[in-house]
Amino acid sequence: MGIILATKNELQWVNEQYQKIGFVPSSLENETIAIVTYKDKFAGVGRIVYLNEEEVEIGGIYILDEFRGLSLANGLVDYLVKEARKSNLKEVYCLPFEELKHFYGKFGFVEVDYEDKQINIHILRKLRWCLDNYEKKVLLLKL
């Protein structure tokens, strides 16, 4: 397993993957996009979205079907969490599907009440969008 950072050259591939699963497309403007590789093939993707200088969202975690079961998501999320922790951030958010609560808990994420007035407005809007657009329940987690 390896991790490479996406450049303009990989952005089309990244967004093709996100389009397949109905995720919001990526851009390089305010994101660090990590591509997980396995045996020199692109196997999955994830991102850190910079909301401002103090807050980020880790998300867009997707492992292609043929690479599932190889613990690549663990390596990818671990990498993104470590990258986020390198900065002096006030908050690190994550909006996973409910069944992934335990998985993200292994990295230190805990569920928070989205009625909390301290939640970033962009995250609240995205959470509402997710709740309206996905059949599965989406949670709001913070590190």
Assess whether pLDDT exceeds 80 at residue 3. Answer: yes
Q: What is the DSSP string of the chain?
A: -EEEE--HHHHHHHHHHHHHHTPPPP-SSSEEEEEEEETTEEEEEEEEEESSSSEEEEEEEEE-GGGTTSSHHHHHHHHHHHHHHHS--SEEEE--BGGGHHHHHTTT-EE--TT-TTS-HHHHHHHHHHHHH-SS-B--EE-
Q: Residues 72-85: pLDDT tens digits?
A: 999 999 999 999 99
Average pLDDT in the 51-76 region? 96
The pTM of the whole model exceeds 0.75: yes
Assess whether pLDDT exceeds 70 at residue 116. Answer: no
- Please give the pLDDT value at position 22: 86
Average pLDDT in the 32-43 region? 97
Query: 91 is in which domain, residue-wise?
Result: 2-142
High-pLDDT (> 90) share of the chain, %? 87
The domain tally of the chain equals 1
Instruction: CATH number of the domain at 138, please.
Output: 3.40.630.30
Assess whether pLDDT exceeds 80 at residue 50. Answer: yes
Q: Residues 4-23: pLDDT tens digits?
A: 999 999 999 999 999 999 88
